[in-house]
């Protein structure tokens, strides 16, 4: 079976590793980054099918990363799914306006729901 490649940007090491393991158990190949700085260059090099992006990260936050991804010819068509602890309507609207495909609030979602969404997205 062909594994779908996703790029996971999450600064929380425990949550990132847990998500990576669950995604891999669901037949995804995962590139895991803990910092927003490398997302654009990694996305250009690896061409993931989906990017799962946290908003609160060191050095470069998810808002900046999303804006860069959508402004770049090579990465603008890659769907970005935001998974963040931020839950304000303002943050959600900003992210969707920047071009994110979907917004999940960490405290309101199970990993299995995210996996189902990702599977449908790459199907």
Tell me the pLDDT tens digit for each residue of 5-44.
999 999 999 999 999 999 999 999 999 999 999 999 999 9
What tens digit of pLDDT does each residue of 39-98 get?
999 999 999 999 999 999 989 999 999 999 999 999 999 999 999 999 999 999 999 999
Cα–Cα distances in Å, from 39 out to 32, 44, 85, 110?
10, 9, 19, 24
Mean pLDDT calculated for residue range 109-119: 97
DSSP state at residue 29? E
Instruction: Kindly tell me if the per-residue pLDDT of 1 is higher than 80.
Output: no
The set of residues, in sequence order, having a beta carbon less than 8 Å from that of 87 and lying 6+ positions away, is 105, 107, 108
Domain ranges of the chain: 4-122
Q: Is the pTM of this model over 0.75?
A: yes
- The architecture (CATH level 2) of 4-122 comes to 3-Layer(aba) Sandwich (3.40)
Residue 2 has pLDDT above 80, yes or no: no
Which residues are paired to 9 by β-bridges? 33, 53
Most distant CA atoms of the chain, gap in Å: 40
């Amino acid at each position: 079976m062909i594994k779908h490649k996703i790029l996971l940007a999450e600064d929380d090491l425990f949550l990132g590793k847990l998500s990576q393991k669950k995604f891999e158990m669901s037949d995804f190949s995962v590139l895991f980054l803990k910092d927003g700085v490398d997302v654009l260059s990694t996305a250009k090099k690896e061409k993931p099918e989906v990017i799962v992006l946290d908003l609160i990260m060191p050095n470069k936050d998810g808002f900046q990363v999303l804006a860069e991804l959508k402004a770049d010819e090579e990465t603008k068509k890659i769907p970005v799914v935001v998974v963040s602890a931020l839950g304000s309507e303002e943050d959600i609207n900003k992210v969707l306006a920047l071009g994110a495909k979907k917004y999940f609030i960490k405290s309101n979602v199970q990993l299995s729901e995210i996996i189902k969404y990702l599977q449908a997205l790459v199907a």
